[in-house]
A and B are shown apart, each in its own frame.
Chain A
Amino acid sequence: MTATATAPAAPAAAGPPRVSVARGYRFEVVKLVSQWRVRLVVLACWLAPALFVAAVSQQSTLPSDTLFGRWMHATGWAGSLVILGFSGTWALPLLTSLVAGDVFAAEDRLGTWRHLLVAVRSPRRIFAAKALASLTVILLLVVGLAASSIVGGLLAVGNHPLVGLDGHLLAPSDAAGKVLMAWACVLAPTLALAAIGLLGSVALGRSPMGLLLPALVALAMQLAQMLPLPVAVRLALPGYAFISWSGLFTDPGQLRPLAVGVAVSLVWAVVATALAYAVFVRRDFTNASYDGHGRRAVTVGVLPLAALLGATVAGVAVATPSMHSGIEQDKVQRSVAVAFAHLYRMQTDELNRPAVTEAQLRVSAACNKGGGQRTAEGAGNDWRCVVSWHLPGVRAVGSAVYQLDITSDGRFVADGDGPKEVNGYFLVRTPNGDAPNPLWQFDGNVELLDTTPKG
């Protein structure tokens, strides 16, 4: 008896004509777009952000607890960044779950694997077509969120300068470029989540866990970001670029954490896709009641990703000496001083006072934590800073107090504690009436990676 299983495969000349990846891709796109929930989600992503931004921009109360939310009255670009922050936390993990987390599992649910395999005759091309189709839909959703939020903001508020995360003013053209760049950067962690979704969808079959995996991973990463983890671990998580895009809005930009976050996300995307592919092409399609690989899913899916996490942590730790919180006294003082100087100039302009430069102000900040009883290091809402500045021709040194709430990812909200004329009240009296006081509360960002102070 001849054991064909050990014999060479059929000669190529006798093989069937291939169903190309392009045709398989079109087939998958048709199937995805025919699902009412996908249509609904696409529609929502292209309409809801515009409506939300336009509506919120008309309200008297702004979402000031969200990054750039306090500037939604000032410029149309802020609304898109609010949507971007929300998308990184909620929308994109859920959308990738819905699309990538279901693209393989849907065939299990419908019992159509055999039909598809008979038609396409190649698990490899089926995988490629499905991955590309889900990528297309996810891109369509992300582009929709970005475009819609930008259009909504610009129509409702206008194309005005945007206040950066360190208080410096970005011209509308700069703001446009950086907002688009920020949306482009979050594509990397979105791809990582999508790849994890593909892996879950392949490995867990009809199990709802497959569908939920990207959302659960994203939630776990968000929880991890809230913990006092070393910077290397924080940056090695594939979702860090959902946070680090804010580094684009400082001057100079905090680009190193962003670059590391994007690179880590892309590595995760490639590795998780490769794992999903490896699991898929080894699958037994004769079992109609397939419910995932069970324990094998752990060995082929979870363990390699855990190893990847370990490798990226080690890689980031070697590349950057960052096994601490990254939030240190001098960095906090520098961030607060820089932001205060920029915003002071804005307040000066509002009050129609003589213009000053940052260099003339010579702003400095003295910060401590826990009233000086604790080491001035790490996250917490017990930071207190005294900011000092000079005015040309005035001998007295101005000072103002801020209470800081710094989160583990380096973001902080500085809340003015007086004097009232400087930062103690949310309005300032201008020649044209009351206006928002830019020094009353402001957002800032401490770069977690070690930096060399300039100047």
Chain B
Amino acid sequence: MDTPPAVRARGITKCFGEVVALDGIDLDVAQGQIHGLVGPNGAGKTTLLGLLLGLAAADSGSLDILDTPVGRALTAPEGVAGFVDGPGLYPSLTARQNLAALAALRGGRRARGAGIDDALDQVGLTDVAADKARGFSLGMRQRLGLAAALLTRPRLLVLDEPSNGLDPAGKKHVHGVLTRLAAEGTAVVLSSHRMDDLEALCSEVTILSTGRIVFTGPLSKLAAENSELDYRLLTSDPQTARRIADGTADVHVAGSAAEWRGAEALVVRALVPALDELVAHLVRDGVAIRELAPVVSPLEAAFLALTEPQEAGR
């Protein structure tokens, strides 16, 4: 039996006066999936996240969240948590008091005490639990916002730029939490401008531009649909590698070698099949490959390729 999607949107349109923020959006997010939302500023990401959180109602179209149709009233079904435009925290309360007040609001006795400690521990804020939120950095605020969302044991978690301001340790905590939630069946929809985060976390992405979807689907599909990418190639023998690359069909070598971390790097442009061919040639000729990575991530390249024409056409 098919499990219903956590989010099912069809033909969602939302306008603010003359401005069309969302124009006929279709979106599906499966349970247990981390779904990335990408788009340039003003693309409609925050508006879409706001609809999922029940902060606004669509002008037209249908939206089902956690198998519950969402009407015009400003409310989201139980099981939805998250934040847009940064978490809402009360600076005069400590981290623990912020969570305790929220737990008391929800009436979840279970969420109090141990639940709060657990949420703080998951996001790595146990040591500052007694500190007022007023003194928190942006990254700490993001993590506390995530802890607040965790308290409600969400089945759909909606996060707007959750990686903003995170240091490596904070990022590790947040990624760990999101991955574990997804493994437990929670659907996560997050927006970010950090493509590396999205590539590390998301199984599917949706790219928005000027209120419309220009791509939605798995990252692998995005890479396959995309045009050629530039790859940085570090080998044990740059001269031989250049010669082999020049001789490989559909592989284009950049004019001059680039310095990369103290070594001579080759930049080649190719589709994935041609790149596979090049790697096979290099190995066959005894050239060791020390690094092969896209100069610009596939998602970022796709994002730029798909959104720039739309932005230019504005």
Interface residues of A, Cβ cutoff 8 Å to B: 1-10, 14-17, 19-20, 23-24, 26-27, 30-31, 34-36, 107, 110-123, 284-288
Contacts and interface: CB of A to CB of B under 8 A. Distances in A.
Given A10-B70, A117-B55, A286-B46, A17 B78 contact: yes
Contact of B91 (A7, A110, A116, A117): A110
Contact of B76 (A2, A31, A36, A118): A118
B143 to A, nearest CB: 15
A202 to B, nearest CB: 15
Nearest to B88: A115
B69 A7 contact: yes
Most buried by A among B16, B63, B73: B73
Interface in B67-111: 68-93, 97, 101-102, 104-107
Interface in B33-78: 46-47, 50, 53-63, 68-78
B104 A23 contact: yes
Contacts of A110: 88-91
Contacts of B61: 1-5
A6 B69 CA distance: 12
Given A112-B89, A114-B88, A116-B88, A121 B76 contact: yes
A246 B59 CA distance: 56
Contacts of B145: 115
B217 interface: no
B88 A113 contact: yes
Contacts of B91: 110
A121 B54 contact: yes
Contacts of A14: 68-69, 77
20 contacts: A1-B11, A2-B62, A4-B63, A10-B69, A15-B75, A15-B78, A16-B76, A19-B105, A26-B104, A27-B104, A27-B105, A31-B101, A110-B89, A111-B88, A114-B50, A114-B53, A114-B83, A117-B54, A118-B54, A284-B16
B252 interface: no
A30 B104 CA distance: 11
B86 A1 contact: no
Most buried by B among A7, A9, A16, A116: A16
Contacts of A17: 78
B267 to A, nearest CB: 41
B105 A24 contact: yes
A423 to B, nearest CB: 57
Contact of A35 (B47, B71, B92, B104): B92
Contacts of B70: 4, 10
Nearest to B24: A1
A444 B218 CA distance: 85
A181 to B, nearest CB: 37
B89 A4 contact: no
